[in-house]
Amino acid sequence: MLTLDVLDRATGEIRRVPLPLAEQNEPRAATLKPAPGADRLQVLVRDDGKVASWIEIPAQPGEHLTVQFEIAPTTVRAFCPNRDFLLLPPEEPPQPLLLHPSKGEELDLLILIDGTCLHPAGPQGLEYLLGPRLADVWRDFAKRLVESAAVACARYPKLWAMAAAFGDQPMPALANPFLKPVYLIHPPIPDVRRLEPIGIEQLEQQLLVLPPSPGGDFLDALADGLHAARQARWRQSSRKLLIVFGNSPGYSLIDPPDPMTNLAVREASIEEEIDALHQSGVEIMTIFHDPPGAEDLYSADMPDLLARARDQYARLATLPEWAQTSDADFSAAIKKWLDPPLILARGAAPGLRVKDAT
C-alpha cells in the first residue's frame, strides 16, 4: 500500500495517509503546507512502510505547495511542478526536529546577551551597551526584558531563570588590550550557569551586572553562547524559552567567512547549536539590537556586518514572528509566544495536508 507521511492536525504526530494514486502512470496530487518553523517541506512516499520516494522542497511559512505523484510498475516518483526540489535516495531519513511546547505551569527562561553589543553614545560614537557610560540605557532594556518575563509568568507561575552573556574567542596574537576579549561566556564558571528558582527582581539584577567585552575580530561567540545555554539544566517538563539579545554574528557553517574575521578554529556553529536546542525542547526568541544611526557609525570596512547579523538572528528564532528588533514591544512579543502552534519544526519536516487534488 502506498502512503504519504503528513502531520496530524489534532496531535502533531506523523501519520501515514493513503496516497491518492489510481491507474498506472496517471499523476495525482496532494496540497501540503510546511509545519510551523520548518523551512523545507519533506515529502516521503512509502510502499508498505518502506520509503519509495523522498524529496524536500524549500518553502515559505504558510505556503501551499502542490506535489504530484507518478507510479510505474517498480517505482514511485514525487515531484513539485515549477519548483526546485532536492531528490534524495529512497531510504529512511533522520527523524525530523519536531517540538511540542509544554502546557504545564513551569517556565524555564534564559536571557542571553551579546556582551560585545554596541550602542550610539552621542559625540563619543559607539560605546559598549553593557558599559558604565551607557548604564541608564541598558537599565531601560533590562527593565523591558523583565517586564516581558513577568507577562510570561502570568501564564507560567513556576519560574526558573538566569541571565548570561557571550563575548569572543581569545586572540593570542592581538596586542591591543582594548580589543582583547574579557570573557567567552559570563558567568565564566559552568556550574554557576544554571537555571534556578528566582524572582523577576533577581533576574533584573543579573542582567544589570553583566559586564561588556570587546568583540575583537567581528565574529563573536554567539555559537558558544548557544552551546552554554544547552548546559543550563533545563527542567524536563517545563516550557523552555531562550531569548537572545545582541547585534553581532557568530560562527556559521552556511555564511561565507568575513574578511575581517580571523581563522581561529571554533568549536561550535550556530546551526548545530540551534538544532540541538530545538531537539531539547528549547524555543528561541531573538531581539536584534538595531538603534537608529548605529549603522552609519560602523566602519566602511564592514558594510555587511549588521546585515549578516540580522540574517542570523532571524534564522535563530523558532518562528519568523519571534524575531524582534530592540525597538519592538517585548511584552507584546511574549504575548504572541504564549499561544504557540501545537507543534514547532526546524529544518525539513512533513507537511500538513491542505487538500487532495482530484
Tell me the C-alpha to C-alpha distance, in Å, between residue 177 and each of 174, 184, 215, 324.
8, 16, 12, 34
Strand partners for 155: none
Distance CA 342, CA 98 (A): 10
Distance CA 79, CA 160 (A): 47
Predicted local confidence at residue 254, as pLDDT: 81
Which residues fall within 8 angstroms of residue 201, CB to CB, at 6 or more apart? 146
Predicted local confidence at residue 300, as pLDDT: 45
Its pTM stands at 0.91
Could you list the pLDDT tens digit for every one of the 358 residues in the chain?
899 999 998 999 999 999 875 555 556 889 999 999 999 999 999 999 999 999 999 999 999 999 999 887 788 899 999 999 999 999 999 999 999 999 999 999 999 999 999 898 877 678 899 999 999 999 999 999 999 999 999 999 999 999 999 998 776 666 566 667 778 899 988 888 999 999 999 999 999 999 999 866 567 889 999 999 999 999 999 999 999 999 988 888 787 666 555 556 677 889 999 999 999 999 999 999 988 766 566 554 555 777 888 999 999 999 999 999 999 999 999 999 999 999 999 999 999 999 754 3
Which residues fall within 8 angstroms of residue 6, CB to CB, at 6 or more apart? 14, 15, 16, 17, 32, 350, 351, 352, 353
* Cα–Cα nearest to 30, from 4, 59, 63: 4
Predicted local confidence at residue 340, as pLDDT: 95
- Does domain 106-340 fall under CATH 3.40.50.410? My reply is yes
Predicted local confidence at residue 133, as pLDDT: 93
Q: Where are the domains of the chain?
A: 2-99+345-357, 106-340
